[in-house]
Amino acid sequence: MDIDVNFLRQAFVAENYICEDELVITISLALKLGRPLLIEGAPGVGKTEIAKVLAVAMETELIRLQCYEGLDESKALYEWNYQAQLLKIQMIRDSCGEESVEEELFSSRYLLERPLLKAIRSPRRSVLLIDEIDKTDEEFEAFLFELLSDFQVSIPEMGTIRAVHIPVVVLTSNQERELSDGLRRRCVYLYIDYPSPEKETEILQLKAPGAPDRLVWEITTAMQYLRQEMDLEKPPSTAEAIDWTTMLVDMGCMQLTPATVKQTLGLLLKNHHDFTVFVKSIGFEGFCTMLHKRWEGDEVIVKKDSFLERAVKKKVQPILRASIKMPLKVAKTILMAKPEEKAMFGSVCQDFLAQMELPHAPFGGGGEGGGHAGRPLNSRELEYTSPEDFPFLVERIRRLINRLEMRPSRRQQQTHRSQWIDVKRTVRRSFRFGGAMFALCFRRLRLRRPRIVILCDVSASMIRHIQFTLPLLFGLSQTAETNRAFVCAGGLEEVTELFRQNSDFEQVRDWLLQRTTQVGRGTNLGQAFHSLRTDFSGALSSATCLLVVSDAETVEPDFAIRELGKIASKVKKVVWLNTQSRSQWHQKEIIPALRRFLRMEECTTLAKAVKILQSL
């Protein structure tokens, strides 16, 4: 079948999937090159639907592998039918020798195909959908390399099985974690963003025929408002917009009213935090008033201040209650990292701009007020962590590290038993007993004890995150004796023993902030990496996992890249916890070079930090 751009465009139109030419061209390139297609984007923007459209257009089978944490090759590739093998042993134990029995037992007749092997052995070209690949771990990604590169898989008992017909492979990711460069290199990349207002209007009119024009316009405007102007953890996607429109049409609504919004808001907002933000920031009456006035062409300001202004207030207000004196201009330079924040600094701080010196200044935002004070700590941005949160942070991190120390290997996470039967070895041993399992073989519980070395940036650009980095250092140092902790800015200092000698976090924090020479200095990550490699070489080994907590702001970026490359060759892996939002990474030229040696993850909330640590 000749699949060109025109064929794909007609196929998407036939399935009521509205897309731009860029999307169709990218898919066409992947098909012509015979490469997998990696699609990233927020949940609900239509990534999975692309694979379904391709399967319908090609009139072939859609084979789907739904990924989840702990997925391994036995669930994704193949598994032996052990029950049938044992029955066969009982039947032919007297008529055949041991060698012929084993040869027959490990044949395709007793092979249970899982999605990957099914796609490889399919008698016709199929569409293989590997959905939500970001939920798996790095080991499973490495396992996929052979399949995605050569479209073949290796089974020890049968050898290498090559694809009869190369399948069309579609991988989707919700960007919950950063995928490896090896996986990305093998794929053609496509990113699907939230649709523009014009495109979303067209989608709603197509998916919900009969919807009034005003209702469609109001829903489209509401979607743009909720995504761009409100601080939601889970902004509504196109799928939610379609469901909302369909339900409102069934209810006979011609336009949105406070009552209908209140009754159907659960179709859009999916957690308690987002409900609370919506009600407190605008409410049902204000939401509908805003939509109606915008429909009439009147400008209306619903929110008292913007999210940026509330964030600036959140950082500035605690300055008045701090314990370290800091000039106001210095506070502005340190706490307001972005140009737009500095521009807003004056309007927010009019009441105390005349003060030349501040009696108190904290390292980061706590305090009352601001858009994040009522948010649960797990989902709150790290820069808004307050001193009152320290006990919870320290205890949460300590419990997590303790679990990491006693965690079984990935293959053994499927059971709660300390040891269990090894079926393959038991079947082989049972040959000598005619298939009767008199001697059972067991697997032992193997513990994963990661040796963690953490390097935290405490320079001026990172000082607003110190309320999180210090509890992280403290929690890691208080658990395993093999863990080591460092702080860096212009240089490098080890703080492992400091944290281990005192179990009172408040005392340790005060001592560190008073005596260390690194807090608040300019950043030279290259010098820090060089000191770690030369002065603390004993901390680096093939079993070491190096954690770097930084925003990647540094002088001499080339020096930092060279030194990190040397460290990466000595350790098991390097994981970088970037405290900046992923959307800002493209502004720094150093990040693509760094990612050649490490896995960089967005670490803007405690929940994301916990998820990253759990993946070590």
SS (H, E, C) 463-522: HHHHHHHHHHHHHHHCCCCCCEEEEECCCEEECHHHHHHCCCHHHHHHHHHHHCCCCCCC
Residue 478: what pLDDT?
64
Instruction: Kindly state the tokens that stand for 27.
Output: 């898919």
DSSP, res 3: -
Residue 311: what pLDDT?
47
Q: List the end-to-end C-alpha distance of the chain, in Å, as a whole number.
A: 45
What is d(CA 593, CA 80) in angstroms, rounded to the nearest whole number?
43
Locus of tokens 């924040």: 341
What is d(CA 556, CA 554) in angstroms, rounded to the nearest whole number?
6
**What is the β-pairing status of strands 159-162 and 168-173?**
unpaired
The number of C-alpha atoms within 13 Å of 317 and in the hemisphere containing its C-beta is: 15
Handedness of CA 253, 255, 258, 263 (dihedral sign): positive
DSSP per-residue codes, 36-70: -EEEEE-TTSSHHHHHHHHHHHTT--EEEEE--TT
Residue 67: what pLDDT?
92
Residue type, 108: S
Residue 60: what pLDDT?
92
Handedness of CA 190, 195, 201, 206 (dihedral sign): positive
Among 139, 131, 137, smallest CA distance to 66 is for 131
- pLDDT by residue (tens digit) across 509-549? 777 777 777 777 778 899 999 999 999 888 888 888 899 99
- Assign residue 452 a region: left if phi > 0, alpha if psi is -120 to 50, beta otherwise? beta
Is the pTM here over 0.75, yes or no? no
**8 A C-beta contact, residue 204 and residue 211:** yes
- Domain positions in the chain: 5-77+114-192, 197-296, 307-374, 448-614
**8 A C-beta contact, residue 115 and residue 65:** yes
5-77+114-192 has which fold? Rossmann fold (3.40.50)
Q: What is the chain's length?
A: 616
DSSP per-residue codes, 319-379: GGG-SS-EEHHHHHHHH--SHHHHHHHHHHTGGGTT-SEES---SS--SS-STTTTS-GGG
Question: Fold match between 5-77+114-192 and 448-614?
Answer: yes
CB crowding 74-84: b at 16 or more within 10 Å, else e: ebbbbbbeeee
DSSP per-residue codes, 254-317: SS--HHHHHHHGGGT--SHHHHHHHHHHTHHHHHHHHHHHHHHT-----SSS-HHHHHHHHHHG
Within 10 angstroms of residue 593's Cβ, the number of other Cβ atoms is 16
What is d(CA 581, CA 558) in angstroms, rounded to the nearest whole number?
23
What is d(CA 478, CA 612) in angstroms, rounded to the nearest whole number?
19
Question: Which regions of the chain are under pLDDT 70?
Answer: 1-2, 92-103, 297-420, 431-438, 443-450, 478-481, 503, 505, 614-616
Helix (H) or strand (E) holding 318: none
Within 10 angstroms of residue 105's Cβ, the number of other Cβ atoms is 22
| Four-way CATH pick for 448-614: 1.10.3720.10, 3.40.50.410, 2.60.40.10, 2.40.128.20 | 3.40.50.410
What is d(CA 36, CA 39) in angstroms, rounded to the nearest whole number?
10
